[in-house]
Amino acid sequence: MHIRNTLKNICTVMYRTILYNLKIIFANKFIFFLGAALAIFIFVTLINLFNAESNPTEGTIYWLLLVPGILLIFYPIIFGIQNDVDTRMIEILFGIPNYRYKVWLVRLILIFLVTSVIISLLSAVSSFVLTSVPVYKMVFQIMFPIMFLGCAAFMVSTIVRNGSGTAVVMVILGMAFWITRDFFNDHKKWDLFLNPFVLPDNMNEAVWAEIVLQNRVYLFAGIILTLLAGLLNLQKREKFL
């Protein structure tokens, strides 16, 4: 009976924690970013659907889903720290030892889970409307750059501590990554926006699979490093209060 009550209490706490953090994630301007993500998806899908010369491929669907995915994580991560400061939640987070780490880990996990679910639904729609794609593989590949950008944005937000400032920095970084893509023609494993569903001309499939694997390993390492850097920055209490 004691074990049963303990498990029940743990489940209740987890449920309330998840529900509370979901309310924070979906608060304020998130609905506008969700609407923008859906609008872009619908607009591009309709263009491909009614254009007789359009021939969408798995690579096309990857690009189609990547932009909405980035938009979905943009607001809750970039403005998360500022929203905590504005609502004085940051004082509570710093008032309980190590609590802020747990809260932000839960938030990031929930943000990425919600994003992956929405991307899965959009991927399924694309597979039905445009061209057949492996939904789970598509979502799995897309989440690497999305999670890297999300953790990088979290790290930057702990340094800048201002939503608008963090947004500017991330837009500049994103543009820099995109502009410098041409420099990675011979070293695509370093390309943040590498599309694993587009096989380059005159390249062996086995070689391409190895490059994609290396790229995803590097992105995963970047995810871990930026996440840890962001959590370590949360130790600097005097900069947040």
Per-residue pLDDT of 204-239, as tens digits, reads 888 889 999 999 999 999 999 999 998 888 877 555
Any idea where the domains of the chain sit in the sequence?
20-239
The reported pLDDT for the residue numbered 10 is: 62
Q: Which three-class secondary structure state does DSSP give residue 240?
A: coil
Distances (CA, A) of 233 to 117, 140, 226, 238: 30, 29, 10, 11
Q: What's residue 138's pLDDT?
A: 93
pLDDT 10s digits, 178-208:
887 777 665 678 888 889 998 887 888 888 8
Residue 146 or residue 54, greater confidence: 146
HSE of 201, CA atoms in CB hemisphere, 13 A: 0
- Asked whether 45 and 128 are in contact (CB, 8 A), the reply is no
Confidence of residue 8 (pLDDT cuts 50, 70, 90): low
Long-range (24+ apart) CB contacts under 8 A made by 229-236 are 229/155, 229/158, 230/104, 230/151, 230/154, 230/155, 230/157, 230/158, 231/101, 231/104, 231/105, 233/155, 233/158, 233/159, 234/100, 234/101, 234/104, 234/158
In SS3 terms, 72-109 reads as HHHHHHHCHHHHHHHCCHHHHHHHCCCHHHHHHHHHHH
Q: Quick check: 92 pLDDT over 80? A: no
> Are the C-beta atoms of 227 and 108 separated by less than 8 Å?
yes
- What does the block give as tokens for 189? 């494993």
Which one of 12-16, 79-83, 136-140 scores highest in mean pLDDT?
136-140
- Model confidence over 123-161: pLDDT tens digits? 999 988 888 889 999 999 999 999 999 999 999 988 887
Tell me the percentage of the chain whose pLDDT exceeds 70.
Answer: 78
Q: What is the pLDDT of residues 19-30, one digit of tens each?
A: 766 777 676 677
More confident residue, 102 or 185: 102
| pLDDT higher at 1 or 139 | 139
Average pLDDT, the chain: 82
**Spatial CA neighbour of 192 closest among 204, 175, 169:** 175
Confidence of residue 93 (pLDDT cuts 50, 70, 90): low
Residue 126 to residue 147: CA distance in whole angstroms = 22
